[in-house]
Amino acid sequence: MKQKVVLKVVMKCQKCRKESLKVAAKQDGVSFVGLEGQEKDKVVVIGDGVDAVKLTRELRKKVGYAEIISLAEQK
């Protein structure tokens, strides 16, 4: 079952954006990682069995404040 997780992450610079994508890509089951939003402040992760809570915790440790905006099943 594929899931689409959208997280809002406080990213102040390009280095932060790069680090957040790297952290998200390392998670188990991830098949796609990207940035969304006008200010590129939303991280989109698509994959099988992605643990959204674990991902949010890792982003908070490495980048800054992060919160889950949506979690949906991908067809």
Q: What is the pLDDT of residues 15-51, one digit of tens each?
A: 999 999 999 999 999 999 999 989 899 999 999 989 9
Q: How many domains, in total, are found in the chain?
A: 1
- The secondary structure of the chain in percent helix, strand, coil, rounded to multiples of 5, reads 30, 40, 30
Residue range(s) defining the domain that contains residue 51? 2-74
Is 75 a residue whose pLDDT tops 90?
no
Domain of residue 19, CATH code = 3.30.70.100
4 - beta bridge partners?
A: 46, 72
pLDDT on residue 52: 93
% of the chain at pLDDT higher than 90: 91
